[in-house]
């Protein structure tokens, strides 16, 4: 901890000559993940580390190396191009970098990989970008070639929100070429790469913005004062400053500031500090301490720019995990405004985002998030989307603003609730969710179960997949996007019915685990019973009362589950019904025991 505190003290704006700047190096020399012709360049940067100080290295799926100029220390972060999770390491590197160096081969021009790297850098709040144009000797150090590349760079990166974009010609990509200013380019009057990096004021934006601090630890000193530990992510703070604790909104004052057990009179962005508060308050790890007169916003619905990084398309309506600063909540893309063409920047209509596509989306989160608009606080603006099953990072984005409806809609409390309604009916409300292939027997078993419950004077309702598509979901087809929205709507209806005190039976193919999990999480513990009606595909095709499998096999029916659209069987359902070994009547008895 001491070494970390010392490092952050040295990175404060007031100690300019001892600042540590993190620089990400991106290989834009080849569109291939690995090009053997670049082995020399990869080896040089990864192992030499641009004059690595004292041989220090740290590897977190990326290469981290130190070097020192006359004015500053630098941490060079180079995402591993050989790693199978290359995109994840790129996101990791960009999330901690202050500046990015894009390596561009003068012979090949700006490739799609460089465009993608620039998007990632912009999405994760990097404000300074250098295009190091190498192999200039191969084009006879031609000024026209260089200027053309500069124009191309400004054309696609000029609107990305970078504070500055600098192009620097270099003869090649080995360490010496990157660090020196080439003498045989008299037409170039700009800085060398080290000269440019030494002049970057990477802390100016953080210092100018209002104070923000992520709370990592709460230490109750005594009944009169309270200490909280965390990192300042924007602005400055002094003893005596009025601050607000979010999301609670409690206002208090900084009594004392400590850094490594020493009292300090000012805390800067990047510093790890302990703040002693004058008034004890309810504080949790992950909360934000902010300037009282300029607090960040809180909302659960946003408009954002999103870059998709996964081979599986982004599906509106599907739940993902959203990580913003210290908080991680469920999130759903509720709509796509447009997709942005990577070459022209044109806004195109779309229903989904595919790998490396960027677009404008609406987001809804399972809990309110504390956020800042773009340019105010990097940590409270850039976010990650994570797949809930694989836990892979599938998207990155920036929040633009909170949707107005997020603050205008409030939950209305009523005197009668689920408990009073279920007591009136003398039953425990449940959602029994039947899932299985078409023709597996879901509707048959659900119908028999409802008849038994009716005979026992239970209040029920059966939601059947085909019936719902005649009304509530008549506008939906059978694409993956439409299937996700179909289950979302039905899940919300089932939740309302359970709130009314009913036992609701839901009979839907519901092929995806992620949507069944989303449905389950709408209900209280023990309210949701998943029933897997397990019939193999061959038997379902043999039954094929509706003739759907025959149409799917002949190509007349697209996106049919089990044929050209996947079915993901439940991993741990409450009830498993192998229909070839268990009769519908026996299955119903098993379900009834769970309902009592």
Is there a single domain that holds both residue 198 and residue 211?
A: no
Is residue 284 in a domain? yes
Q: Is the pLDDT of residue 535 over 90?
A: yes
pLDDT band, very low/low/confident/very high, at 220 (cuts 50, 70, 90): low
CA 264, chain centre distance (Å):
36
Is residue 8 in a domain? no
pLDDT band, very low/low/confident/very high, at 81 (cuts 50, 70, 90): low
Q: Is the pLDDT of residue 34 over 60?
A: no
Question: How high does pLDDT run on average in the chain?
Answer: 82
Task: Check if 362 is active-site.
Answer: no
Is there a single domain that holds both residue 456 and residue 565?
A: yes
Is there a single domain that holds both residue 219 and residue 317?
A: no
CATH number of 237's domain: 2.40.30.10
Per-residue confidence (pLDDT) for residue 203, from 0 to 100: 62
Among the ranges given (76-90, 298-312, 431-445, 527-541), the one the predictor scored with the smallest mean pLDDT: 76-90
State pLDDT tens for residues 113-143: 888 888 888 888 888 899 988 887 777 778 8
171-197 exposure pattern, b = at least 16 Cβ within 10 A, e = fewer: bbbbbebbeeebeebeebeeebbbebb
State pLDDT tens for residues 153-177: 888 777 777 888 899 988 777 666 6
pLDDT band, very low/low/confident/very high, at 84 (cuts 50, 70, 90): very low
Q: Is the pLDDT of residue 260 over 90?
A: no
pLDDT band, very low/low/confident/very high, at 72 (cuts 50, 70, 90): confident
Binding residue per annotation — 351?
no
SS3 47: helix
Binding residue per annotation — 441?
yes
Average pLDDT, integer, range 433-452? 95
Is there a single domain that holds both residue 278 and residue 424?
A: no
Average pLDDT, integer, range 583-595? 88
The residue among 387, 385, 399, 388 whose CA lies nearest residue 91 is 385
Q: Is the pLDDT of residue 144 over 80?
A: yes
Among the ranges given (177-186, 237-246, 328-337), the one the predictor scored with the smallest mean pLDDT: 177-186
State pLDDT tens for residues 445-481: 999 999 999 999 999 999 999 899 999 999 998 888 8
Is there a single domain that holds both residue 385 and residue 425?
A: no
Per-residue confidence (pLDDT) for residue 233, from 0 to 100: 87
Per-residue confidence (pLDDT) for residue 426, from 0 to 100: 94
Is residue 156 in a domain? yes
Is residue 473 in a domain? yes
Q: Which of 408, 430, 452 is the last residue of a domain?
A: 408
CATH number of 441's domain: 3.40.50.300
Q: Which of 408, 435, 470 is the last residue of a domain?
A: 408
Q: Is the pLDDT of residue 54 over 60?
A: no
Among the ranges given (11-25, 263-277, 279-293, 336-350), the one the predictor scored with the smallest mean pLDDT: 11-25
* CB-based contacts of 339, cutoff 8 Å, min separation 6: 347, 348, 349, 350, 353, 357, 358, 359
pLDDT band, very low/low/confident/very high, at 57 (cuts 50, 70, 90): very low
Average pLDDT, integer, range 31-39? 39
Q: Is the pLDDT of residue 55 over 50?
A: no
Catalytic residue among 510, 565, 572, 583: 510
CA dihedral 392, 394, 397, 401 (to 10 degrees): -100
Binding residue per annotation — 317?
no
Average pLDDT, integer, range 245-265? 91
Is there a single domain that holds both residue 481 and residue 591?
A: yes
Is there a single domain that holds both residue 307 and residue 247?
A: no
Per-residue confidence (pLDDT) for residue 340, from 0 to 100: 86
Is there a single domain that holds both residue 238 and residue 166?
A: no
Q: Is the pLDDT of residue 186 over 80?
A: yes
**pLDDT higher at 60 or 119:** 119
**pLDDT higher at 414 or 15:** 414
CB 30 within 8 A of CB 211: no
Per-residue confidence (pLDDT) for residue 225, from 0 to 100: 65
Helices H / strands E in the chain, number of each: 17, 26
Backbone angles phi, psi at 119, to 5 degrees: -60, -45
Per-residue confidence (pLDDT) for residue 136, from 0 to 100: 79
SS3 149: helix
Q: Is the pLDDT of residue 108 over 70?
A: yes
Global confidence as pTM: 0.72
Binding residue per annotation — 438?
yes
Binding residue per annotation — 437?
yes
Above pLDDT 90, what percent of the chain?
44
DSSP-assigned beta bridge partners for residue 260: none
Is residue 429 in a domain? yes
Is residue 12 in a domain? no
> DSSP states of 268-289 as a string?
-TT-EEEEEESS-----TT-EE
Is there a single domain that holds both residue 364 and residue 495?
A: no
Binding residue per annotation — 439?
yes
Is there a single domain that holds both residue 398 and residue 423?
A: no
Average pLDDT, integer, range 17-28? 73
Domain count, the chain: 4
Is residue 539 in a domain? yes
Q: Name the residue range of residue 387's domain.
A: 297-408
Is residue 32 in a domain? yes
Omega of the bond leading into 197 within 30 degrees of 0 (cis): no
pLDDT band, very low/low/confident/very high, at 70 (cuts 50, 70, 90): confident
Residue 272 token pair = 């790890």
Average pLDDT, integer, range 567-582? 92
Is there a single domain that holds both residue 358 and residue 240?
A: no
Q: Which of 357, 388, 408 is the last residue of a domain?
A: 408
Average pLDDT, integer, range 98-108? 88
Per-residue confidence (pLDDT) for residue 5, from 0 to 100: 27
CB 137 within 8 A of CB 172: yes
Is there a single domain that holds both residue 430 and residue 503?
A: yes
Above pLDDT 70, what percent of the chain?
85
Q: Is the pLDDT of residue 331 over 90?
A: yes
């Amino acid at each position: 901890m001491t070494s970390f505190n010392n490092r952050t003290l040295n990175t404060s704006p007031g100690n300019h000559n001892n600042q540590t700047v993190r620089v990400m190096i991106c290989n834009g020399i080849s569109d291939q993940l690995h090009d053997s012709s670049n082995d020399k360049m990869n080896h040089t940067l990864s192992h030499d580390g641009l004059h690595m100080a004292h041989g220090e290295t740290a590897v977190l799926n990326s290469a981290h190396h130190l070097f020192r100029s006359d004015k500053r220390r630098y941490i060079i972060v180079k995402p591993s191009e050989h790693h199978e999770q290359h995109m994840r390491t790129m996101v990791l590197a960009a999330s901690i970098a202050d500046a990015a160096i894009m390596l561009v081969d003068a012979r090949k021009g700006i490739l799609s990989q460089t465009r993608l790297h620039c998007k990632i850098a912009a999405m994760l709040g990097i404000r300074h970008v250098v295009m190091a144009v190498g192999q200039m000797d191969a084009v006879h150090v031609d000024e026209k070639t260089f200027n053309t590349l500069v124009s191309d760079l400004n054309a696609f990166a000029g609107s990305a929100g970078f504070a500055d974009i600098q192009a620097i010609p270099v003869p090649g990509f080995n360490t010496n070429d990157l660090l020196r200013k080439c003498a045989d380019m008299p037409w170039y009057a700009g800085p060398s790469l080290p000269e440019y990096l030494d002049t970057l004021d990477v802390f100016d934006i953080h210092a100018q913005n209002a104070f923000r601090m992520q709370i990592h630890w709460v230490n109750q000193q005594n009944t009169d004062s309270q200490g909280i530990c965390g990192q300042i992510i924007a602005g400055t703070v002094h003893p005596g400053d009025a601050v607000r604790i979010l999301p609670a909104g409690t206002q208090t004052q900084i009594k004392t500031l400590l850094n490594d057990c020493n009292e300090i009179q000012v805390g800067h962005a990047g510093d790890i500090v302990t703040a002693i508060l004058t008034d004890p308050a309810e504080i949790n790890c992950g909360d934000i301490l902010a300037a009282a007169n300029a607090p960040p916003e809180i909302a659960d619905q946003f408009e954002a720019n999103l870059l998709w990084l996964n081979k599986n398309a982004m599906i509106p309506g599907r739940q993902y995990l959203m990580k913003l600063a210290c908080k991680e909540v469920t999130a759903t893309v509720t709509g796509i405004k447009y997709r942005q063409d990577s070459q022209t920047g044109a806004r195109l209509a779309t229903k989904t985002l595919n790998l490396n596509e960027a677009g404008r989306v609406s987001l809804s989160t399972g809990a309110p998030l504390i956020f800042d608009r773009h340019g105010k606080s990097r940590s409270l603006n850039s976010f990650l989307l994570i797949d809930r099953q694989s836990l892979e990072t599938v998207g990155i984005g920036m929040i633009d603003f909170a949707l107005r409806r997020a603050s205008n809609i409030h939950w209305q409390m009523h005197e009668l609730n689920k408990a009073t309604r279920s007591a009136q009916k003398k039953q425990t409300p449940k959602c029994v969710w039947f899932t299985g292939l078409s023709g597996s027997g879901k509707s048959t078993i659900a119908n028999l179960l409802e008849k038994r419950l009716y005979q026992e004077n239970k209040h029920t309702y059966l939601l059947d997949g085909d019936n719902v598509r005649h009304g509530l979901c008549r506008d939906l087809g059978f694409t993956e996007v439409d299937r996700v929205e179909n289950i979302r709507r039905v899940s919300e209806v089932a939740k309302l019915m359970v709130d009314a005190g009913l036992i609701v039976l839901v009979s839907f193919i519901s092929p995806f685990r992620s949507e069944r999990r989303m449905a389950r999480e709408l209900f209280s513990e023990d309210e949701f019973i998943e029933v897997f009606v397990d019939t193999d595909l061959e038997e379902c095709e043999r039954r094929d009362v509706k003739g759907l499998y025959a149409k799917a096999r002949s190509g007349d029916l697209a996106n049919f589950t089990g044929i050209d659209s996947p079915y993901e069987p439940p991993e741990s359902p409450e009830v498993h019904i192998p229909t070839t070994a268990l009769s519908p009547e026996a299955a119903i008895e098993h379900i009834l025991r769970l309902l009592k």
